[in-house]
Chains A and B, each alone.
Chain A
């Protein structure tokens, strides 16, 4: 390697090349994360994210943060250890939302004709900002994993309540009480997705009275902590610069 000769002679040239590199590579990073993170997200927590009548207090709150911490953790490894850039979570969650919005408007609304309010994605930016901020303040992946991931899981539901609360107002409909979200799901016919396919809370956790959400949120945070570290490891494996003579 040491035999490699330089192609340039001045600092100005070097700066120009580094800038050119950013110009091409940042869009590459954005596009590949959008694609990879989105396919991961849609197939691990997608149903809850697609439909307003899936956003429940138990499974949605539990599954979404756990499933979504994978990529932020892997990117924290790549971007923090190699570049000291603390925005892996914000970047991945932002581009995921862009991908989701593009699809919901162009396809769920533009192709299948569902009303947009039925398919608005969950709000995931606040938890990403917290995770990144804790990394930035602590400058430690370990502290981020323990405290940040806990916050990540816990804050998910509160940050979405402002969006979904209107859909939980009760309605009497044909002699049955439903939430607005249930009614939207019932009104707007989905032939391939019947009511029973929803994976939602079926009864409160009896020993905790009505407080299903905090229990789910803390559990999500707890598992997110483990997932964060597992995905730091997987991120490290993917970021390896291995060369082989043959495969």
Chain B
């Protein structure tokens, strides 16, 4: 025989050991599980910023940025026929006061065009004290959440102080935190008491199970006689009473709320922004991923149709930025903002107006591994994508989408 107590004690000790074995550093939250091709070739986010990273309950925060629907959309991912601009936060730490896509309110779901760029703005009001990793996020019907860049944001204060007041079209000012709750609870209690009374009416006639079973069997065809006239009167009163109360409550609610509308489910279409490439064309001629060096190397055929010379300043994909500090600089916003400060180098220099030139670009960083982008070469679809940013001497930016097959180099 096993000694049960001893076994249980040992298991508990083992579990505690497992839990305490590790130290616990800070945590972000998860887009890394999504396949690399999906992250690189669906929605590409850039210029994402938040107005503040520390605020009190009831204060507001604005998140802004742009997103581009990649032209070479993977075949197995649903296209953004129906999509909804969302925010990735752990529950309503914030309430979304407003969201705009190209200046149009984003309360409804939207249709987007592949190959187009849009800008967004989301205004959030802090509701619950917490330190959260907040993401811009786009839900696409049947494709799922396409996650944008994240920022650590800290909310301080007390949730009890939070108010969320709005004024209805009937002129009433209401707090959405508690609106209608007391009324709903009152009705649930009312009907709950009646249901309990009805159940207890039968249970208190008890013992009800075995004796009633026996009686049903003994009476056979006459088993219905077990239901007395009183019982049936109870049923009749209950039936009529329920009808009366439901009818009264129904018409009373219409009297109290004479103006009501159905749930709104319209969908809108929003025109895209003008082309951000501003006359620059770029095409990937070949691309390799060098596994030992954790580097993406690609040849880019660039045609400059603008009036001034341009240089390559940045490559971004899957919310990771590879910067060429000679042209454009950026620092990580926080511990979980992947920016390879000097991750991009290239050969070929400036592309003059009217010139077509081959640039040899190298994007190096550990992020290829830590953010699981290097897994691309093991995906069933191993084409890569991303955005390249060119800058002219005045700092004007051209954003061009590039992509193509990626060949791994293992040695």
Contact = CB atoms under 8 A, between A and B. Distances in A.
Contact of A136 (B105, B235, B254): B235
A68 interface: no
Interface in B156-180: 159, 164, 166-170, 172, 174, 176-180
A37 B235 CA distance: 24
B223 A84 contact: yes
Given A87-B199, A139-B227, A179-B263, A115 B176 contact: yes
Interface in A72-124: 81-87, 90-91, 93-94, 97, 101, 111-117, 120-121, 123
B164 A187 contact: yes
Given A85-B202, A113-B91, A162-B183, A129 B238 contact: yes
A161 B191 contact: no
Contacts of B254: 161, 165
B330 interface: no
B207 A134 contact: no
B2 interface: no
Interface string A143-184: 000000000000100110111011111111111111111111
B263 A196 contact: no
Contacts of A83: 208-209, 212-213, 216
B207 A21 contact: yes
B224 interface: yes
Nearest to A112: B91
Interface residues of B, number: 96
Nearest to B159: A113
B23 interface: no
Contacts of A21: 207, 209-210
A170 B108 contact: no
Interface stretch (B94-102, B294-302, B315-323): B94-102
Nearest to A202: B265
B108 to A, nearest CB: 7
Given A15-B207, A83-B209, A184-B176, A158 B250 contact: yes
Given A136-B232, A158-B247, A168-B261, A18 B210 contact: yes
Contacts of B84: 194-196
Interface centre among B84, B145, B167, B187 (most CB of A within 10 A): B187
Contacts of A47: none
Nearest to A83: B212
A130 B235 CA distance: 9
A137 B176 contact: no
B263 A181 contact: yes
A168 B260 contact: yes
Given A15-B207, A84-B223, A194-B86, A189 B192 contact: no
B396 interface: no
A176 B188 CA distance: 33
B242 A126 contact: yes
A196 B141 contact: yes
A180 B207 contact: no
A207 interface: no
B172 A169 contact: yes
Contacts of A17: 210
A135 B84 CA distance: 48
Contacts of B107: 173-174, 176, 178, 182, 186, 195
B137 interface: yes
B184 interface: yes
Interface in B186-242: 187-188, 191-192, 194-196, 198-199, 202-203, 206-213, 215-216, 223-224, 226-227, 231-232, 234-236, 238-239, 242
Contacts of B137: 191
Nearest to A25: B209
Contact of A198 (B176, B180, B238, B265): B265
B82 interface: yes
Contacts of A202: 265
B393 interface: no
Contacts of A91: 199
Contact of A169 (B92, B98, B109, B169): B169
A169 B259 contact: yes
Given A136-B231, A162-B187, A166-B180, A129 B252 contact: no
B256 interface: yes
Contact of B195 (A94, A167, A174): A94
Contacts of B88: 191
Interface centre among B84, B216, B265 (most CB of A within 10 A): B265
A22 B211 CA distance: 10
A171 B169 contact: yes
B293 to A, nearest CB: 36
A49 interface: no
A209 interface: no
A55 B178 CA distance: 18
A187 B127 CA distance: 11
Contacts of B265: 198, 200-202
Interface centre among A94, A136, A202 (most CB of B within 10 A): A136
B292 interface: no
Nearest to A113: B91
Contacts of B210: 17-18, 21
Contacts of B90: 191
A129 B198 contact: yes
8 contacts: A26-B209, A86-B231, A115-B92, A155-B246, A166-B257, A172-B169, A181-B263, A200-B263
The 8 closest A-B pairs by CB, nearest first: A136-B235, A194-B139, A125-B191, A168-B260, A18-B207, A133-B239, A194-B84, A162-B249
Given A161-B254, A189-B87, 15 more contacts: A19-B207, A55-B263, A113-B92, A125-B192, A125-B194, A133-B242, A161-B250, A163-B183, A169-B170, A169-B260, A170-B261, A182-B107, A182-B263, A187-B96, A200-B263
